[in-house]
Amino acid sequence: MNAAAAALPDRLGGAPDGKRSLRLWLRLLTCATTIEQTIAQRLRDEFGSTLPRFDMLSALDRAGEAGLTMGEVSRMLMVSNGNVTGLAARLKADGLIEAMAGADRRVQRVRLTPTGQIRFTAMARAHERWIEALFADLTETEADDLTRLLERTKRSLHATTHEELNG
């Protein structure tokens, strides 16, 4: 075991190096869960909102005036159409999004309202501050290295899962 690995607390009861992938997965999961829970709590406390609402507003913000179909939102957020429909109904009731007239009445397209844009902008600014604070202990080099390694991991995961689906 290398010195860096030896310096990490071992929560796997002295698992051999063969358990390195399991240890890595558990650390990634713990970090991701902690970040998600922290952001979700801050959205509730400061904006009376939820992470799914923020995510949908963010997707619509990126789409601009053209908006998105409900199916596009569903794919972007990786949730079911039913979840998106319920979320959209609540956001409409709050005046944050609006339906757009379209040629096909079966395909509903939505976009941010001016009120939704203002609200999302405030949330996005706070979100950015929170994320920066959560990673403040990393040096610029460490953050760059971690980003590079996670991107490599993402490519590896995509290649592996793609092979399994098509293999």
Q: How many CB atoms lie within 10 A of CB 119?
A: 20
Residues 6+ away with beta carbon under 8 Å from 60: 67, 68, 73, 97, 110, 111, 112, 116, 120
- Amino acid 65: pLDDT: 93
Residue 24: left if φ>0, alpha if ψ -120 to 50, beta else—which one? alpha
- Amino acid 12: pLDDT: 52
- Amino acid 68: pLDDT: 94
Provide the H-helix boundaries in 20-139: 20-47, 51-63, 70-77, 81-93, 114-134
- Amino acid 166: pLDDT: 67
* Residue 76 CA, distance from chain mean position: 10
**How would you class 112 by CB atoms within 10 Å of its CB: exposed for 0-12, middle for 13-18, buried for 19 or more?**
buried
- Amino acid 63: pLDDT: 96
The 8-class DSSP code of residue 65 comes to G
Residues 6+ away with beta carbon under 8 Å from 52: 77, 79, 83, 87
- Amino acid 71: pLDDT: 92
Q: What is the mean pLDDT of each run of 10 residues along the chain (167 residues)?
A: 51 64 93 97 97 96 94 92 93 96 78 98 98 97 96 91 67
- Amino acid 1: pLDDT: 45
Q: How many CB atoms lie within 10 A of CB 146?
A: 13
